[in-house]
A and B are shown apart, each in its own frame.
Chain A
Amino acid sequence: MKTEYKIIVDLIEEKTRVLDVGCDDGTLMESLKKNKNVDARGIEISKDKVQTCVSKGLTVIEGNAELDLKQFPNDSFDYVVLGQTLQAFINPEIVIKELLRVGKKAIITIPNFGHWKVRLNLLIKGTMPITESLPNDWYNTPNIHMCTIKDFVKFSKILNFKIFKSLALTNKNISNINNFNLFYKNLFAELGIFLIEK
Protein backbone atom coordinates (compact mmCIF):
# COMPACT_ATOMS: atom_id res chain seq x y z
CA MET A 1 0.00 0.00 0.00
CA LYS A 2 1.07 3.56 -0.70
CA THR A 3 2.94 5.25 2.15
CA GLU A 4 0.42 8.07 1.88
CA TYR A 5 -2.41 5.66 2.78
CA LYS A 6 -0.41 4.22 5.71
CA ILE A 7 -0.02 7.71 7.12
CA ILE A 8 -3.74 8.43 6.73
CA VAL A 9 -4.66 5.15 8.43
CA ASP A 10 -2.36 6.10 11.34
CA LEU A 11 -4.02 9.50 11.68
CA ILE A 12 -7.53 8.05 12.02
CA GLU A 13 -8.83 6.78 15.35
CA GLU A 14 -10.53 3.42 15.73
CA LYS A 15 -14.25 2.84 15.30
CA THR A 16 -14.94 6.24 13.78
CA ARG A 17 -17.08 7.24 10.79
CA VAL A 18 -15.01 8.15 7.75
CA LEU A 19 -15.96 9.56 4.35
CA ASP A 20 -13.36 9.07 1.63
CA VAL A 21 -13.93 11.70 -1.06
CA GLY A 22 -12.58 10.45 -4.35
CA CYS A 23 -12.11 6.97 -2.90
CA ASP A 24 -10.69 5.54 -6.15
CA ASP A 25 -10.71 1.71 -6.08
CA GLY A 26 -11.39 1.63 -2.34
CA THR A 27 -7.87 0.59 -1.22
CA LEU A 28 -7.78 3.15 1.58
CA MET A 29 -11.32 2.33 2.72
CA GLU A 30 -10.47 -1.38 2.89
CA SER A 31 -7.40 -0.68 4.95
CA LEU A 32 -9.32 1.61 7.29
CA LYS A 33 -11.98 -1.04 7.81
CA LYS A 34 -9.41 -3.76 8.43
CA ASN A 35 -6.98 -1.84 10.63
CA LYS A 36 -9.16 0.69 12.39
CA ASN A 37 -12.58 -0.94 12.28
CA VAL A 38 -14.12 2.24 10.90
CA ASP A 39 -17.51 2.73 9.30
CA ALA A 40 -16.23 3.84 5.91
CA ARG A 41 -18.16 5.47 3.08
CA GLY A 42 -16.86 6.69 -0.24
CA ILE A 43 -17.70 9.08 -3.05
CA GLU A 44 -16.18 8.38 -6.45
CA ILE A 45 -16.76 10.02 -9.81
CA SER A 46 -15.64 7.11 -12.02
CA LYS A 47 -18.33 4.48 -12.72
CA ASP A 48 -15.71 1.76 -13.16
CA LYS A 49 -14.13 2.51 -9.82
CA VAL A 50 -17.51 2.61 -8.05
CA GLN A 51 -18.17 -0.85 -9.47
CA THR A 52 -14.75 -2.03 -8.26
CA CYS A 53 -15.59 -0.73 -4.78
CA VAL A 54 -18.96 -2.54 -4.83
CA SER A 55 -17.14 -5.75 -5.77
CA LYS A 56 -15.07 -5.28 -2.60
CA GLY A 57 -18.21 -4.91 -0.51
CA LEU A 58 -17.63 -1.21 0.15
CA THR A 59 -20.38 1.40 0.49
CA VAL A 60 -19.73 3.95 -2.21
CA ILE A 61 -21.90 6.47 -4.02
CA GLU A 62 -21.13 7.65 -7.51
CA GLY A 63 -20.80 11.40 -7.35
CA ASN A 64 -18.79 14.57 -7.51
CA ALA A 65 -17.44 16.18 -4.35
CA GLU A 66 -18.29 19.67 -5.57
CA LEU A 67 -21.96 18.76 -6.07
CA ASP A 68 -22.64 15.85 -3.77
CA LEU A 69 -21.13 16.74 -0.42
CA LYS A 70 -24.04 19.04 0.28
CA GLN A 71 -26.40 16.10 0.83
CA PHE A 72 -24.59 15.13 4.02
CA PRO A 73 -25.66 16.80 7.26
CA ASN A 74 -23.23 18.81 9.41
CA ASP A 75 -20.70 16.73 11.35
CA SER A 76 -22.00 13.46 9.92
CA PHE A 77 -18.49 12.00 9.81
CA ASP A 78 -15.58 12.01 12.26
CA TYR A 79 -13.14 12.33 9.38
CA VAL A 80 -13.44 13.29 5.75
CA VAL A 81 -10.47 12.32 3.60
CA LEU A 82 -9.49 14.10 0.40
CA GLY A 83 -6.45 12.48 -1.21
CA GLN A 84 -4.52 14.48 -3.83
CA THR A 85 -7.56 15.96 -5.51
CA LEU A 86 -7.95 19.44 -3.97
CA GLN A 87 -6.01 20.87 -6.90
CA ALA A 88 -8.49 19.42 -9.39
CA PHE A 89 -11.54 21.32 -8.16
CA ILE A 90 -12.94 24.46 -9.72
CA ASN A 91 -13.39 25.98 -6.30
CA PRO A 92 -11.06 24.47 -3.64
CA GLU A 93 -12.27 27.01 -1.10
CA ILE A 94 -15.86 25.72 -1.20
CA VAL A 95 -14.63 22.12 -1.14
CA ILE A 96 -12.55 22.69 2.03
CA LYS A 97 -15.47 24.45 3.71
CA GLU A 98 -17.75 21.56 2.76
CA LEU A 99 -15.25 18.96 4.04
CA LEU A 100 -15.12 20.74 7.37
CA ARG A 101 -18.89 21.09 7.54
CA VAL A 102 -19.56 17.41 6.83
CA GLY A 103 -16.64 16.13 8.89
CA LYS A 104 -15.51 17.02 12.39
CA LYS A 105 -11.98 16.71 11.02
CA ALA A 106 -10.59 16.50 7.52
CA ILE A 107 -7.43 14.94 6.14
CA ILE A 108 -6.17 16.58 2.97
CA THR A 109 -3.13 15.52 0.99
CA ILE A 110 -1.59 17.72 -1.68
CA PRO A 111 1.11 17.07 -4.25
CA ASN A 112 3.66 19.79 -3.46
CA PHE A 113 4.19 22.19 -6.36
CA GLY A 114 7.00 23.79 -4.39
CA HIS A 115 9.20 20.69 -4.68
CA TRP A 116 12.67 21.56 -6.03
CA LYS A 117 12.30 19.36 -9.11
CA VAL A 118 9.17 21.25 -10.10
CA ARG A 119 10.88 24.59 -9.52
CA LEU A 120 13.98 23.54 -11.41
CA ASN A 121 11.94 22.13 -14.26
CA LEU A 122 10.23 25.47 -14.76
CA LEU A 123 13.40 27.48 -14.22
CA ILE A 124 15.55 25.59 -16.67
CA LYS A 125 13.10 24.41 -19.31
CA GLY A 126 10.77 27.36 -19.09
CA THR A 127 7.80 25.08 -19.68
CA MET A 128 5.13 23.83 -17.29
CA PRO A 129 6.72 21.16 -15.07
CA ILE A 130 6.14 17.48 -15.80
CA THR A 131 7.26 15.13 -13.03
CA GLU A 132 6.46 11.64 -11.75
CA SER A 133 3.60 12.86 -9.60
CA LEU A 134 2.48 15.47 -12.16
CA PRO A 135 2.72 13.56 -15.43
CA ASN A 136 0.33 15.63 -17.59
CA ASP A 137 0.87 18.52 -19.96
CA TRP A 138 -0.59 21.90 -19.04
CA TYR A 139 -3.42 21.50 -21.54
CA ASN A 140 -4.63 18.08 -20.42
CA THR A 141 -3.92 18.08 -16.70
CA PRO A 142 -6.87 17.67 -14.33
CA ASN A 143 -4.84 19.74 -11.86
CA ILE A 144 -6.09 23.27 -12.39
CA HIS A 145 -5.32 24.67 -8.94
CA MET A 146 -1.85 23.48 -7.99
CA CYS A 147 -0.44 24.76 -4.72
CA THR A 148 2.63 24.36 -2.56
CA ILE A 149 2.81 23.25 1.07
CA LYS A 150 3.45 26.87 1.97
CA ASP A 151 0.40 27.99 -0.02
CA PHE A 152 -1.77 25.52 1.88
CA VAL A 153 -0.49 26.75 5.26
CA LYS A 154 -1.24 30.30 4.13
CA PHE A 155 -4.66 29.24 2.93
CA SER A 156 -5.47 27.87 6.41
CA LYS A 157 -5.01 31.38 7.80
CA ILE A 158 -7.16 32.96 5.10
CA LEU A 159 -9.99 30.46 5.54
CA ASN A 160 -9.44 30.37 9.28
CA PHE A 161 -9.19 26.61 9.82
CA LYS A 162 -6.80 24.90 12.20
CA ILE A 163 -4.01 22.64 11.01
CA PHE A 164 -3.88 19.96 13.67
CA LYS A 165 -1.05 18.02 12.17
CA SER A 166 1.05 18.58 9.08
CA LEU A 167 3.33 15.93 7.67
CA ALA A 168 5.75 15.89 4.78
CA LEU A 169 6.42 12.84 2.67
CA THR A 170 9.89 12.75 1.13
CA ASN A 171 11.20 9.59 -0.49
CA LYS A 172 8.83 7.47 1.63
CA ASN A 173 10.11 9.21 4.77
CA ILE A 174 7.63 10.99 6.96
CA SER A 175 8.47 14.11 8.93
CA ASN A 176 6.62 16.87 10.74
CA ILE A 177 6.23 20.28 9.21
CA ASN A 178 6.53 23.28 11.54
CA ASN A 179 7.09 27.03 11.24
CA PHE A 180 10.86 26.60 11.44
CA ASN A 181 11.33 23.97 8.75
CA LEU A 182 8.52 25.08 6.42
CA PHE A 183 11.00 26.55 3.93
CA TYR A 184 12.91 23.25 3.62
CA LYS A 185 9.88 20.98 3.65
CA ASN A 186 8.32 23.10 0.94
CA LEU A 187 11.43 22.54 -1.13
CA PHE A 188 11.96 18.81 -0.49
CA ALA A 189 8.60 17.19 0.27
CA GLU A 190 6.73 15.49 -2.54
CA LEU A 191 3.49 15.39 -0.65
CA GLY A 192 1.94 17.34 2.21
CA ILE A 193 -0.54 15.62 4.51
CA PHE A 194 -2.72 17.82 6.71
CA LEU A 195 -5.15 16.98 9.48
CA ILE A 196 -7.38 20.01 9.78
CA GLU A 197 -10.29 21.21 11.92
CA LYS A 198 -12.76 24.06 11.82
Chain B
Amino acid sequence: MNIKENIKTLVIKKPLKLDCGKTINNFPLAYETYGSLNKNKDNAILVFHALTGDQFVTGINPVTKKDGWWSYAVGPNKSIDTNKYFVICANVIGGCMGSFGPSHKNPDTNKIYGTDFPVITINDMVNAQVNLLDHFEIKKLFSVVGGSMGGMQVLQFISNYPDKASTVVPIACTSSHSAQNIAFNELGRQAIASDHNWSDGKYLSNNTLPDKGLSVARMAAHITYLSKKGLQEKFGRKLQERDALKFGFDADFQIESYLRYQGSVFVDRFDANSYLYITRAMDYFDLVKQFDGNLSNAFKKTKAKFFVISFTSDWLYPTQENKDIVIALNAIGADVGFVEIKSDKGHDSFLLDVPDFLKTLKNFLDKSYIKR
Protein backbone atom coordinates (compact mmCIF):
# COMPACT_ATOMS: atom_id res chain seq x y z
CA MET B 1 0.00 0.00 0.00
CA ASN B 2 1.18 3.48 -0.84
CA ILE B 3 1.81 6.05 1.78
CA LYS B 4 -1.26 8.21 1.69
CA GLU B 5 -1.62 11.90 2.05
CA ASN B 6 -4.11 13.36 4.52
CA ILE B 7 -3.09 10.98 7.25
CA LYS B 8 -2.23 12.54 10.60
CA THR B 9 0.45 10.60 12.40
CA LEU B 10 1.84 10.71 15.88
CA VAL B 11 5.28 9.17 16.24
CA ILE B 12 5.39 7.36 19.56
CA LYS B 13 8.86 7.66 20.99
CA LYS B 14 8.12 5.97 24.29
CA PRO B 15 9.03 2.26 24.07
CA LEU B 16 6.04 -0.05 24.13
CA LYS B 17 6.56 -3.54 25.45
CA LEU B 18 4.29 -5.86 23.53
CA ASP B 19 2.61 -8.95 24.98
CA CYS B 20 4.73 -11.14 22.69
CA GLY B 21 7.82 -9.89 24.54
CA LYS B 22 9.23 -7.58 21.87
CA THR B 23 9.54 -3.85 22.44
CA ILE B 24 8.75 -1.27 19.78
CA ASN B 25 9.55 2.43 19.77
CA ASN B 26 9.53 5.38 17.40
CA PHE B 27 6.54 3.90 15.67
CA PRO B 28 3.76 5.78 13.89
CA LEU B 29 0.18 5.91 15.12
CA ALA B 30 -2.22 7.33 12.54
CA TYR B 31 -5.27 9.13 13.91
CA GLU B 32 -8.07 11.52 13.04
CA THR B 33 -10.11 13.92 15.16
CA TYR B 34 -13.55 15.49 14.80
CA GLY B 35 -15.06 18.41 16.70
CA SER B 36 -12.96 20.50 19.06
CA LEU B 37 -11.45 19.99 22.47
CA ASN B 38 -12.94 22.37 25.04
CA LYS B 39 -10.97 24.52 27.48
CA ASN B 40 -11.28 22.05 30.36
CA LYS B 41 -10.33 19.21 28.01
CA ASP B 42 -13.14 17.12 29.39
CA ASN B 43 -15.23 16.55 26.28
CA ALA B 44 -13.04 14.01 24.50
CA ILE B 45 -14.32 10.64 23.32
CA LEU B 46 -11.89 7.99 22.17
CA VAL B 47 -13.58 5.80 19.57
CA PHE B 48 -12.04 2.41 18.85
CA HIS B 49 -12.53 0.84 15.44
CA ALA B 50 -13.42 -2.75 14.58
CA LEU B 51 -11.45 -5.32 12.55
CA THR B 52 -11.58 -3.61 9.17
CA GLY B 53 -12.22 -0.05 10.31
CA ASP B 54 -9.79 2.84 10.44
CA GLN B 55 -9.37 6.27 11.95
CA PHE B 56 -11.76 7.91 9.47
CA VAL B 57 -14.89 7.55 11.57
CA THR B 58 -17.17 9.97 9.78
CA GLY B 59 -17.35 12.33 6.83
CA ILE B 60 -15.68 11.25 3.60
CA ASN B 61 -12.75 8.91 4.09
CA PRO B 62 -9.94 10.72 2.20
CA VAL B 63 -8.37 7.44 1.11
CA THR B 64 -11.38 5.37 0.01
CA LYS B 65 -13.51 8.44 -0.89
CA LYS B 66 -16.44 6.70 0.77
CA ASP B 67 -18.40 7.58 3.91
CA GLY B 68 -16.56 6.97 7.18
CA TRP B 69 -17.42 3.63 8.81
CA TRP B 70 -19.50 5.17 11.61
CA SER B 71 -21.13 8.05 9.74
CA TYR B 72 -24.54 7.08 11.10
CA ALA B 73 -23.42 7.50 14.68
CA VAL B 74 -20.75 10.21 14.64
CA GLY B 75 -21.13 13.77 13.38
CA PRO B 76 -22.84 17.08 14.15
CA ASN B 77 -26.04 16.44 16.20
CA LYS B 78 -25.62 12.69 15.81
CA SER B 79 -25.33 10.09 18.60
CA ILE B 80 -21.72 11.07 19.19
CA ASP B 81 -22.28 14.75 18.59
CA THR B 82 -19.18 16.41 17.18
CA ASN B 83 -20.68 19.84 17.97
CA LYS B 84 -20.32 18.85 21.60
CA TYR B 85 -17.56 16.27 21.82
CA PHE B 86 -14.00 16.01 20.60
CA VAL B 87 -13.79 12.64 18.90
CA ILE B 88 -10.44 10.92 18.50
CA CYS B 89 -9.91 7.67 16.63
CA ALA B 90 -6.64 5.94 15.82
CA ASN B 91 -5.83 3.22 13.36
CA VAL B 92 -4.83 0.20 15.45
CA ILE B 93 -1.24 -0.96 15.36
CA GLY B 94 -1.04 -3.90 13.01
CA GLY B 95 -3.47 -2.01 10.75
CA CYS B 96 -2.97 -0.62 7.27
CA MET B 97 -4.15 2.99 7.37
CA GLY B 98 -0.89 4.57 8.48
CA SER B 99 -0.27 3.03 11.89
CA PHE B 100 2.70 0.77 12.48
CA GLY B 101 1.85 -2.49 10.71
CA PRO B 102 3.12 -5.40 8.63
CA SER B 103 3.23 -3.32 5.42
CA HIS B 104 5.83 -1.01 6.97
CA LYS B 105 9.55 -1.28 6.38
CA ASN B 106 11.73 -2.69 9.11
CA PRO B 107 14.31 0.10 9.62
CA ASP B 108 16.97 -2.47 10.59
CA THR B 109 16.72 -4.57 7.44
CA ASN B 110 15.07 -2.02 5.13
CA LYS B 111 12.64 -4.77 4.11
CA ILE B 112 8.88 -4.81 4.46
CA TYR B 113 7.96 -6.62 7.67
CA GLY B 114 5.28 -8.95 6.34
CA THR B 115 4.95 -11.81 8.80
CA ASP B 116 8.15 -10.69 10.57
CA PHE B 117 5.98 -8.03 12.18
CA PRO B 118 5.49 -8.88 15.85
CA VAL B 119 2.16 -10.46 16.79
CA ILE B 120 0.12 -7.79 18.53
CA THR B 121 -2.79 -8.02 20.97
CA ILE B 122 -5.81 -5.91 21.90
CA ASN B 123 -3.81 -4.92 24.98
CA ASP B 124 -0.94 -3.66 22.76
CA MET B 125 -3.39 -1.69 20.58
CA VAL B 126 -4.83 0.07 23.60
CA ASN B 127 -1.43 0.74 25.16
CA ALA B 128 -0.33 2.39 21.91
CA GLN B 129 -3.45 4.56 21.68
CA VAL B 130 -3.27 5.85 25.26
CA ASN B 131 -0.34 7.99 24.04
CA LEU B 132 -2.89 10.16 22.24
CA LEU B 133 -4.13 11.37 25.63
CA ASP B 134 -0.68 12.75 26.45
CA HIS B 135 -0.45 14.25 22.98
CA PHE B 136 -3.68 16.21 23.47
CA GLU B 137 -2.96 16.77 27.18
CA ILE B 138 -6.22 15.08 28.14
CA LYS B 139 -6.22 13.81 31.73
CA LYS B 140 -9.51 12.00 31.51
CA LEU B 141 -11.66 11.12 28.54
CA PHE B 142 -15.37 11.77 28.78
CA SER B 143 -15.96 8.41 27.14
CA VAL B 144 -14.46 5.39 25.43
CA VAL B 145 -16.78 3.89 22.83
CA GLY B 146 -16.50 1.05 20.34
CA GLY B 147 -18.30 -1.85 18.74
CA SER B 148 -17.09 -5.38 18.02
CA MET B 149 -13.26 -5.36 18.26
CA GLY B 150 -13.68 -1.69 19.22
CA GLY B 151 -15.73 -2.87 22.21
CA MET B 152 -12.95 -5.25 23.21
CA GLN B 153 -10.53 -2.32 23.16
CA VAL B 154 -12.99 -0.33 25.29
CA LEU B 155 -12.98 -3.09 27.93
CA GLN B 156 -9.21 -3.47 27.81
CA PHE B 157 -8.70 0.29 27.99
CA ILE B 158 -10.74 0.78 31.15
CA SER B 159 -9.15 -2.19 32.85
CA ASN B 160 -5.65 -0.87 32.01
CA TYR B 161 -6.46 2.77 32.74
CA PRO B 162 -9.33 2.80 35.27
CA ASP B 163 -9.11 6.57 35.89
CA LYS B 164 -8.83 7.68 32.30
CA ALA B 165 -12.51 7.64 31.26
CA SER B 166 -15.76 8.74 32.92
CA THR B 167 -18.06 6.63 30.79
CA VAL B 168 -17.48 3.33 29.03
CA VAL B 169 -19.60 2.04 26.14
CA PRO B 170 -18.80 -1.46 24.85
CA ILE B 171 -21.14 -2.37 21.98
CA ALA B 172 -21.83 -5.79 20.40
CA CYS B 173 -18.68 -7.35 21.82
CA THR B 174 -17.32 -9.97 24.15
CA SER B 175 -14.84 -10.26 26.98
CA SER B 176 -13.32 -13.40 25.47
CA HIS B 177 -13.23 -14.70 21.90
CA SER B 178 -15.24 -17.91 21.60
CA ALA B 179 -14.21 -21.06 19.72
CA GLN B 180 -16.70 -20.10 17.01
CA ASN B 181 -15.16 -16.62 16.72
CA ILE B 182 -11.67 -18.12 16.43
CA ALA B 183 -12.93 -20.66 13.89
CA PHE B 184 -14.29 -17.97 11.57
CA ASN B 185 -11.09 -15.96 11.87
CA GLU B 186 -9.01 -19.02 11.10
CA LEU B 187 -11.11 -19.63 7.99
CA GLY B 188 -10.24 -16.13 6.81
CA ARG B 189 -6.56 -16.52 7.56
CA GLN B 190 -6.38 -19.85 5.75
CA ALA B 191 -8.11 -18.33 2.73
CA ILE B 192 -5.34 -15.71 2.58
CA ALA B 193 -2.50 -18.16 3.24
CA SER B 194 -3.70 -20.54 0.52
CA ASP B 195 -3.54 -17.80 -2.12
CA HIS B 196 -0.22 -18.38 -3.97
CA ASN B 197 0.25 -14.65 -4.25
CA TRP B 198 0.47 -14.41 -0.50
CA SER B 199 4.02 -15.88 -0.73
CA ASP B 200 4.38 -16.49 3.01
CA GLY B 201 3.50 -12.85 3.59
CA LYS B 202 6.22 -11.43 1.31
CA TYR B 203 3.82 -10.33 -1.43
CA LEU B 204 4.64 -6.63 -1.17
CA SER B 205 8.31 -7.32 -1.93
CA ASN B 206 7.26 -9.58 -4.81
CA ASN B 207 4.80 -7.02 -6.18
CA THR B 208 1.91 -9.47 -6.11
CA LEU B 209 -1.25 -9.25 -4.02
CA PRO B 210 -3.25 -12.13 -2.49
CA ASP B 211 -6.49 -10.50 -3.59
CA LYS B 212 -8.35 -13.76 -4.12
CA GLY B 213 -7.57 -15.07 -0.65
CA LEU B 214 -8.33 -11.77 1.04
CA SER B 215 -11.64 -11.41 -0.77
CA VAL B 216 -12.71 -14.94 0.21
CA ALA B 217 -11.79 -14.09 3.80
CA ARG B 218 -13.96 -10.99 3.58
CA MET B 219 -16.85 -12.90 2.03
CA ALA B 220 -16.86 -15.48 4.81
CA ALA B 221 -16.59 -12.81 7.51
CA HIS B 222 -19.30 -10.72 5.91
CA ILE B 223 -21.80 -13.56 6.35
CA THR B 224 -21.11 -13.55 10.08
CA TYR B 225 -21.94 -9.85 10.27
CA LEU B 226 -25.48 -10.34 8.96
CA SER B 227 -28.44 -12.32 10.23
CA LYS B 228 -30.18 -15.19 8.47
CA LYS B 229 -33.42 -13.23 8.50
CA GLY B 230 -31.73 -10.11 7.15
CA LEU B 231 -30.14 -12.05 4.30
CA GLN B 232 -33.36 -13.87 3.50
CA GLU B 233 -35.35 -10.64 3.36
CA LYS B 234 -32.79 -8.78 1.28
CA PHE B 235 -31.82 -11.55 -1.15
CA GLY B 236 -33.89 -14.67 -0.64
CA ARG B 237 -33.32 -16.83 -3.72
CA LYS B 238 -33.47 -13.89 -6.11
CA LEU B 239 -31.42 -14.36 -9.27
CA GLN B 240 -28.74 -11.97 -10.45
CA GLU B 241 -29.64 -10.30 -13.77
CA ARG B 242 -31.03 -13.49 -15.25
CA ASP B 243 -34.40 -15.19 -15.53
CA ALA B 244 -33.36 -18.75 -14.88
CA LEU B 245 -30.52 -20.80 -13.40
CA LYS B 246 -27.57 -21.16 -15.79
CA PHE B 247 -26.42 -24.59 -14.63
CA GLY B 248 -22.89 -23.33 -14.03
CA PHE B 249 -20.80 -21.67 -11.35
CA ASP B 250 -21.27 -18.03 -12.16
CA ALA B 251 -23.09 -15.96 -9.63
CA ASP B 252 -26.64 -17.09 -10.33
CA PHE B 253 -27.99 -15.77 -7.06
CA GLN B 254 -27.96 -12.16 -5.92
CA ILE B 255 -26.40 -13.14 -2.63
CA GLU B 256 -23.43 -14.65 -4.49
CA SER B 257 -22.96 -11.55 -6.54
CA TYR B 258 -23.29 -9.37 -3.46
CA LEU B 259 -20.65 -11.32 -1.55
CA ARG B 260 -18.26 -11.29 -4.52
CA TYR B 261 -18.69 -7.54 -4.74
CA GLN B 262 -18.04 -7.12 -1.01
CA GLY B 263 -14.87 -9.20 -1.39
CA SER B 264 -13.65 -7.30 -4.42
CA VAL B 265 -14.04 -3.80 -2.96
CA PHE B 266 -12.43 -4.89 0.28
CA VAL B 267 -9.09 -5.81 -1.30
CA ASP B 268 -8.72 -2.27 -2.62
CA ARG B 269 -8.62 -0.85 0.87
CA PHE B 270 -7.18 -3.55 3.09
CA ASP B 271 -3.88 -5.32 3.50
CA ALA B 272 -3.91 -9.12 3.73
CA ASN B 273 -1.21 -9.33 6.38
CA SER B 274 -2.99 -6.72 8.51
CA TYR B 275 -6.04 -8.98 8.30
CA LEU B 276 -3.97 -11.85 9.68
CA TYR B 277 -2.51 -9.76 12.49
CA ILE B 278 -5.73 -8.11 13.60
CA THR B 279 -7.81 -11.31 13.57
CA ARG B 280 -5.04 -12.93 15.62
CA ALA B 281 -5.26 -10.10 18.16
CA MET B 282 -9.00 -10.69 18.46
CA ASP B 283 -8.52 -14.43 18.93
CA TYR B 284 -5.97 -13.86 21.67
CA PHE B 285 -8.36 -11.54 23.51
CA ASP B 286 -9.46 -13.10 26.78
CA LEU B 287 -10.02 -10.53 29.49
CA VAL B 288 -11.41 -13.22 31.77
CA LYS B 289 -8.14 -15.14 31.66
CA GLN B 290 -6.12 -11.93 32.07
CA PHE B 291 -7.87 -11.51 35.41
CA ASP B 292 -7.49 -15.09 36.63
CA GLY B 293 -10.91 -16.27 35.60
CA ASN B 294 -12.85 -13.44 37.25
CA LEU B 295 -13.98 -10.75 34.83
CA SER B 296 -15.15 -8.52 37.69
CA ASN B 297 -11.52 -8.00 38.68
CA ALA B 298 -10.91 -6.26 35.35
CA PHE B 299 -13.22 -3.44 36.46
CA LYS B 300 -12.59 -3.31 40.20
CA LYS B 301 -10.43 -0.21 40.10
CA THR B 302 -12.66 2.00 37.99
CA LYS B 303 -15.48 4.31 39.05
CA ALA B 304 -16.58 4.81 35.45
CA LYS B 305 -20.19 4.53 34.37
CA PHE B 306 -20.77 1.66 31.93
CA PHE B 307 -23.41 1.23 29.28
CA VAL B 308 -23.48 -2.10 27.45
CA ILE B 309 -25.43 -2.49 24.20
CA SER B 310 -26.19 -5.68 22.27
CA PHE B 311 -28.43 -6.58 19.32
CA THR B 312 -31.09 -9.28 19.12
CA SER B 313 -29.91 -10.74 15.79
CA ASP B 314 -26.15 -10.60 16.48
CA TRP B 315 -24.95 -14.21 16.51
CA LEU B 316 -21.25 -13.33 16.29
CA TYR B 317 -21.20 -11.64 19.70
CA PRO B 318 -24.62 -12.63 21.04
CA THR B 319 -26.49 -10.82 23.79
CA GLN B 320 -25.45 -13.36 26.42
CA GLU B 321 -21.76 -12.56 25.89
CA ASN B 322 -22.51 -8.87 26.31
CA LYS B 323 -24.61 -9.65 29.34
CA ASP B 324 -21.70 -11.53 30.92
CA ILE B 325 -19.94 -8.15 31.05
CA VAL B 326 -22.99 -6.64 32.76
CA ILE B 327 -23.11 -9.51 35.25
CA ALA B 328 -19.42 -9.09 36.07
CA LEU B 329 -20.00 -5.37 36.68
CA ASN B 330 -23.10 -5.87 38.81
CA ALA B 331 -21.20 -8.41 40.89
CA ILE B 332 -18.97 -5.57 42.12
CA GLY B 333 -21.70 -2.95 42.37
CA ALA B 334 -20.43 -0.96 39.40
CA ASP B 335 -22.63 1.62 37.72
CA VAL B 336 -23.86 -0.27 34.66
CA GLY B 337 -26.80 0.06 32.30
CA PHE B 338 -27.66 -2.44 29.62
CA VAL B 339 -30.01 -2.66 26.68
CA GLU B 340 -30.50 -5.20 23.91
CA ILE B 341 -31.63 -3.39 20.77
CA LYS B 342 -34.11 -5.12 18.49
CA SER B 343 -32.71 -5.34 14.98
CA ASP B 344 -32.65 -7.83 12.09
CA LYS B 345 -29.36 -6.45 10.80
CA GLY B 346 -27.12 -8.84 12.72
CA HIS B 347 -23.74 -7.92 14.16
CA ASP B 348 -23.44 -5.03 11.70
CA SER B 349 -26.40 -3.31 13.40
CA PHE B 350 -24.07 -0.99 15.27
CA LEU B 351 -22.71 0.37 11.97
CA LEU B 352 -26.07 0.82 10.28
CA ASP B 353 -29.10 3.05 10.50
CA VAL B 354 -30.78 1.45 13.52
CA PRO B 355 -32.74 4.35 15.07
CA ASP B 356 -33.31 2.76 18.51
CA PHE B 357 -29.59 2.16 18.85
CA LEU B 358 -28.55 5.60 17.65
CA LYS B 359 -31.09 7.30 19.91
CA THR B 360 -30.14 5.25 22.97
CA LEU B 361 -26.41 5.86 22.48
CA LYS B 362 -27.05 9.60 22.13
CA ASN B 363 -29.27 9.70 25.21
CA PHE B 364 -26.75 7.87 27.32
CA LEU B 365 -23.83 10.09 26.31
CA ASP B 366 -25.69 13.40 26.44
CA LYS B 367 -27.31 12.71 29.83
CA SER B 368 -24.02 11.50 31.30
CA TYR B 369 -22.27 14.57 29.92
CA ILE B 370 -24.65 16.94 31.73
CA LYS B 371 -24.13 15.10 35.02
CA ARG B 372 -20.37 14.67 34.82
Contact = CB atoms under 8 A, between A and B. Distances in A.
A61 interface: yes
A129 interface: no
A71 interface: yes
A63 B331 contact: no
Contact of B333 (A55, A56, A76): A76
A34 to B, nearest CB: 13
A60 interface: yes
A59 B371 contact: no
A62 B364 contact: no
Interface residues of A, number: 17
A14 B295 CA distance: 32
A52 B340 CA distance: 13
A47 B339 contact: yes
Contacts of B336: 59, 61
Contacts of B337: 54, 58-61
Interface in B310-332: 326-327, 330-332
A57 B330 contact: no
Given A47-B342, A73-B331, A73-B333, A55 B305 contact: no
Interface string B347-368: 0000000001001100110011
A138 interface: no
A51 interface: yes
A184 interface: no
Contacts of B291: none
A54 B337 CA distance: 8
B363 A54 contact: yes
Contacts, number: 57
Given A47-B341, A60-B337, A62-B340, A71 B330 contact: yes
B258 interface: no
B367 A61 contact: no
A62 B339 CA distance: 5
Name which of B307, B332, B333, B368 has the most chain A CB atoms within 10 A of its CB.
B333
Nearest to B337: A59
B370 interface: yes
A55 B330 contact: no
B252 to A, nearest CB: 39
B163 interface: no
A30 B363 CA distance: 16
A107 B359 CA distance: 33
Contacts of B326: 61, 71
B338 A62 contact: yes
A127 B339 CA distance: 40
A183 interface: no
Contacts of B341: 47
Interface residues of B, number: 25
Contacts of A63: 338
Nearest to A77: B333
B84 to A, nearest CB: 15
Nearest to B306: A59
Contacts of B368: 57
Contacts of B200: none
A55 B307 CA distance: 13
B259 to A, nearest CB: 31
Nearest to B307: A54
A54 B340 CA distance: 13
A61 B363 contact: no
A54 B330 contact: no
A8 interface: no
A54 B336 CA distance: 11
Contact of A72 (B307, B330, B356): B330
A54 B339 contact: yes
A54 B339 CA distance: 9
B371 A51 contact: no
A57 B370 contact: yes
A50 interface: yes
A63 B360 CA distance: 17
B67 interface: no
Contacts of B307: 54
B8 to A, nearest CB: 34
Max chain B C-beta neighbours (<10 A), residue from A51, A60, A73: A51
Contacts of A60: 337-339
Contacts of B359: 51, 55
Please list the 9 inter-chain residue pairs (A to B) with the smallest Cβ-Cβ separation, ordered nearest first. A57-B367, A61-B338, A55-B363, A71-B327, A71-B330, A59-B337, A50-B339, A54-B363, A62-B339
27 contacts: A47-B339, A47-B340, A47-B356, A51-B339, A51-B359, A51-B363, A54-B307, A54-B360, A54-B364, A55-B359, A55-B360, A59-B305, A59-B336, A60-B338, A60-B339, A61-B326, A61-B330, A61-B336, A61-B339, A62-B338, A62-B339, A62-B340, A63-B338, A71-B330, A72-B331, A73-B333, A76-B333
Interface of B: 305, 307, 326-327, 330-333, 335-342, 356, 359-360, 363-364, 367-368, 370-371
Given A72-B331, A76-B330, 8 more contacts: A47-B339, A50-B339, A54-B360, A55-B360, A56-B367, A62-B339, A71-B327, A71-B331
